[in-house]
């Protein structure tokens, strides 16, 4: 048994529908961001930690006087 007579009446909610449904949408967006963003940050941090030891390992041919360019290409 529904409280409203039709889906259109539930959508309209006697003129309060836009406020109510936008409040639900904003709440769902905030809850979703509170779940998704920390997961993405943790995954990015884990990727950075995995790549950190090898960062700069292949930079032996860089010339420090030219800002890191390859010395043979100068």
Count of the separate structural domains present in the chain: 1
Residue 60, domain member (yes or no): no
Residue 64, domain member (yes or no): no
Residue 10, domain member (yes or no): yes
Residue 37, domain member (yes or no): yes
Span 13-26, mean pLDDT? 93
Please tell me whether residue 46 adopts helix, strand or coil conformation: helix
**CA torsion, ordered 34, 32, 15, 5, to nearest 10 deg:** -130
pLDDT tens digit string along 20-69?
A: 999 999 999 999 999 999 999 999 999 999 887 765 555 555 565 666 55
41 token code pair = 């940050």
Domain containing 41 equals 1-46
Residue 73, domain member (yes or no): no
Please tell me whether residue 70 adopts helix, strand or coil conformation: strand
Q: How confident is the model at residue 71 (pLDDT cuts 50, 70, 90)?
A: low
């Amino acid at each position: 048994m529904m409280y409203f007579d039709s889906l259109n009446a539930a959508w309209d909610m006697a003129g309060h529908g836009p406020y109510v449904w936008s409040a639900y949408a904003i709440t769902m967006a905030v809850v979703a961001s509170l779940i998704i963003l920390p997961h993405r940050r943790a995954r990015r941090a884990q990727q950075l930690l995995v790549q950190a030891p090898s960062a700069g390992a292949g930079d032996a041919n860089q010339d420090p006087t030219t800002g890191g360019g390859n010395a043979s290409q100068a």
